[in-house]
Structure 1
Amino acid sequence: MPLENKLGLTNAVELALEEERISKTRAAEMFENGLLESLRPGSFEALRKIHEYLFSDIYDFAGQIRTVNLAKGNFRFAPVMYLRQAIQEIEKMPQDTYDHIIEKYVEMNIAHPFREGNGRSTRLWLDLILKNELGLVVDWSKVDKSDYLMAMERSPVKDLEIKALLKEALTDRIYDRQVYMKGLDASYKYEGYEAYKTDDLSRENELEEDLER
């Protein structure tokens, strides 16, 4: 069954398509309007605002800490009972080196603070930290889906694999529109969303706004 949503959709396929279309458009807006630059890198508030901006048109729980326990396969994410405490501890983690930043990212993934949309939001959050601290971002279009998913699955036990994988894809083109847009497409593809191209949605949105003026 699909999650309860503001769109009133009860078909899972239809919901997935609309979720991709709407949230990708919102993700593109965050680049165009400079919202990402206004957030404090590494803070949970930054992650919360990213999630809220992406999904507020779709879910009532956008930007809200989940109230249900989540699992993926045999792995259980942080229990609701300890989730807020876990988030506070993650916020305190250092982010002064590449290794520290990825360790913080891995821990936030383990926390999985939202009901849905954690991966997509947290990858944007990771890039915000890397950009601020190191002047780099991940070019996600260069990170293979299966390699990424396997590395993340193993990261709670051993994070060397995800560190090496993402390090190979780092770029200093931190304000490059195409790096960002193609990166979003790759990020969404990891979660099975690949019906739309972010750049196309962004341009369609710009045309609609011009017509409304």
Structure 2
Amino acid sequence: MNDEEKLTKIRALELWDKNLIDNIEVGTFKGLQEIHRYLFQDIFDFAGEIRKLNISKGNFRFTPILFLTENLKIIDKMNDKTFDEILDKYVEMNVAHPFREGNGRSMRIWLDILLKQRLGRCVDWSKIDKFSYLSAMERSPVNSLELKFLLKTALTDDIQNREVYIRGIQASYEYEGMSRYDIGDM
């Protein structure tokens, strides 16, 4: 049996160590697809593919498949020059939830690439409490101010630091309840 956490953390390290992250299209669904496909290529036969099922989490229903492709085109056209615009785009991509599994982990890498290119900053995810983040994300479709405040306080300009990236991947997986493997030991 494949171990999703271990295999995808290895792939996340490869994105950085092989400089693949520098070749990903920034701020687009295509770029998010590239990240998802690479991370989950060993796990899901649908890696990088738009979901064909309606999905929900708790009481929240993500964008219905009937509207998903069109919504992704709209998200691609959203402005993403300022921090607030970037976070608005991130929130909308989360509402779309284009993949069956692995959206959060892929989208956090996607967000950091976008922040790095546009603002010369990224989120130090290790500074963000899991429950604060998940609560802010849950409320973000209605009001994103809490999420923006939370992420803004954890921004760093240390964007070329591999350790910041590694800590971010580890935290990202912990948000999803995956902490069996420490990425620093891989």
Structure 1 residue runs of 4 or more that deviate by more than 4 Å after TM superposition: none
Separation in structure 1 between the aligned mates of residue 158 and residue 180 of structure 2, nearest angstrom = 26
Equivalent in the alignment of 1:23:
8
Equivalent in the alignment of 1:121:
106
Equivalent in the alignment of 1:151:
136
Separation in structure 1 between the aligned mates of residue 107 and residue 25 of structure 2, nearest angstrom = 14
Aligned residues: 186
Q: Give the unaligned 5+ runs of structure 2.
A: none
Q: Which amino acid aligns with 1:83?
A: L
Separation in structure 2 between the aligned mates of residue 137 and residue 145 of structure 1, nearest angstrom = 17
The share of aligned pairs that are identical, in percent, is: 55
Match 2:73 to one of 71, 88, 91: 88
Separation in structure 1 between the aligned mates of residue 143 and residue 111 of structure 2, nearest angstrom = 18
DSSP 3-state at the match of 1:78: coil
1:137 aligns with 2:136: no
Q: How far 1:197 moved relative to its partner? A: 1.0
Separation in structure 2 between the aligned mates of residue 153 and residue 58 of structure 1, nearest angstrom = 27
**Superimposed CA distance per residue, residues 89-123 of structure 1 (whole angstroms, 9 cap, x where no aligned partner):** 00000000000000000000000000100000000
Q: Which amino acid aligns with 2:10?
A: T
Q: Which amino acid aligns with 1:102?
A: L
Separation in structure 1 between the aligned mates of residue 43 and residue 109 of structure 2, nearest angstrom = 19
1:72 aligns with 2:57: yes
Match 1:40 to one of 1, 25, 29: 25
Separation in structure 2 between the aligned mates of residue 66 and residue 200 of structure 1, nearest angstrom = 33
1:166 aligns with 2:154: no
Under a length normalisation based on structure 1, what TM-score does the superposition of the two structures give? 0.86
Q: How far 1:39 moved relative to its partner? A: 1.4
What do you get for the CA RMSD once the two structures are aligned?
0.7
Under a length normalisation based on structure 2, what TM-score does the superposition of the two structures give? 0.99
Match 1:175 to one of 156, 160, 185: 160
Separation in structure 2 between the aligned mates of residue 39 and residue 28 of structure 1, nearest angstrom = 15
Match 1:193 to one of 171, 174, 178: 178
Q: How far 1:40 moved relative to its partner? A: 1.8
Q: Which amino acid aligns with 2:44?
A: Y
Separation in structure 2 between the aligned mates of residue 105 and residue 90 of structure 1, nearest angstrom = 9
Separation in structure 1 between the aligned mates of residue 72 and residue 184 of structure 2, nearest angstrom = 33
